[in-house]
Structure 1
């Protein structure tokens, strides 16, 4: 009976350790996801600004056949 309890205790300890490890990994992944989302939003803003500049430049180009 003692061996069975010791084995069960060891398995419970493994599960507890795995839960702690997975929780830490989950927190790290959430932080990385938030960082990636911030970077994506920053890049979207830069693309929109570049598109606006290109559209402004395109409006300054002479029309075909009128140059």
Structure 2
């Protein structure tokens, strides 16, 4: 292969390398965006789980109170 032949390959190879570089950069950006989205979703999930726990506690308290009220009803009613 002569120097002239090598020059013929360098143009297409350079273009391919540039395309690969652009794809890698795009994938790195996408990866970063997905990491941020994942972080936000984890925070949202933790908040919703905490809300759910509080609501379950309220339901349990209301259920116990309702049982107590039912026990106080006269049997004739």
Same fold (TM over 0.5): yes
Alignment correspondent of 2:42: 30
Task: Extract unaligned runs of 5+ from structure 1.
Answer: none
The Cα of 1:37 is off from its aligned counterpart by 0.5
TM-score by length of 2: 0.81
Task: Extract unaligned runs of 5+ from structure 2.
Answer: 1-12
| Secondary structure at the counterpart of residue 62 of structure 1 | coil
Alignment correspondent of 1:19: 31
Say what the alpha-carbon RMSD is for the aligned residues: 1.0
Structure showing greater Rg: 2
Superposed CA offset, 1:18-51 (max 9, x none):
0000000001111111111000000000000000
Q: How does 1:25-64 map to 2 (within 5 A)?
A: 25-64=37-76
| Secondary structure at the counterpart of residue 10 of structure 1 | helix
Q: Of 9, 20, 42, which residue of structure 2 is paired with 1:8?
A: 20
